Amino acid sequence: MTEEIAATNEAEFVDITPEGNGKLRKRIIQEGTGDLISRYSDVSVHYTGRLHPSGTKFDSSLDRNKPLEFKVSEGRVIKGWDEGLVTMRVGEKAELLIDPEYGYGVEGNPPTIPPNSTLLFEVEVISSKPLEDPVSKKIADAAASKTSGNAYFTAGKYAEAAKAYRFGISRLEVTWSATPAEIPEINQLKLNLNSNLAACLLKTKDLKEAVEACDKALEVDVKNVKVLYRMGQAYSGLAMFDKAEEVLKQALEVAPKDAAVLQELASLSVKAKELKDKEKAVYSRMFK
């Protein structure tokens, strides 16, 4: 025998799709605690599924008195669950209003779910065991690496500083479950860590890696003068004077009076001439 409930007020639901297309919406019934569930976590949830808008119940873990356990983001459940759960915390109870595209699609899941069905799930997170550290810890580790790296750099220990910066960068490689409030902090750390790493690599003459570090920093802030300056230095050290001139001029577009950039740009022609004179000297000795 099916069970039905009163009609749901869709105005109470908030769109939680990254695209803002409204195909997955959420209404919090009970707040949870701790960090958001991270992707690829092991979770245990209780749920009740109903057809929308009829309210007809088609399944419930509560009827079996046994929560459902699975790994998030491995395709074990419908897309609406995978995407909805990473917006929840342990202890949270919420309703997920799921369009067919995020549910069972045009085919449905007969006989209980007709084709092209919109679904309403009430989900409660009982437990979550992340298979990776929460984003908050990764941010803290990256910030600590920046601090220790800066101390090593000030002491002239450039290899140790570079190692610390690289570790901080690695901690921020996977941050899918970051909250909107955490994203600016992550981006700022990525910018600072890569820029500082480039400064170390200029000291140790690892110039190709310095360019790569600058590239990663510029992905966060394409007009960062300090990063463009360091990239110009790296290209100059690699005798790629045209590329050095290009990025240094980009820096001047942002800061036309920056003394360090102007000096580096002015030195390019001198360095190019010195390199050409050295090459001539080598060739002349070869053919004497």
Residues acting as catalytic residues: 47, 58-59, 78, 104, 121
**Those residues with Cβ within 8 angstroms of residue 1's Cβ, 6 or more apart along the chain or in another chain:** none
**Residue at token pair 């369009």:** 99
Q: Are 284 and 248 in contact (CB under 8 A)?
A: no
Strand partners, 95: 27, 122
Pick from 94, 102, 89: nearest CA to 136 = 89
Pick from 24, 163, 11: nearest CA to 83 = 24
CA angle, 50 then 55 then 56, to 5°: 65
Q: Are 211 and 205 in contact (CB under 8 A)?
A: no
d(CA 19, CA 255): 36
Q: Are 207 and 201 in contact (CB under 8 A)?
A: yes
d(CA 114, CA 106): 9
d(CA 54, CA 7): 7
Helices then strands, counting H and E runs in the chain, come out as 9, 7
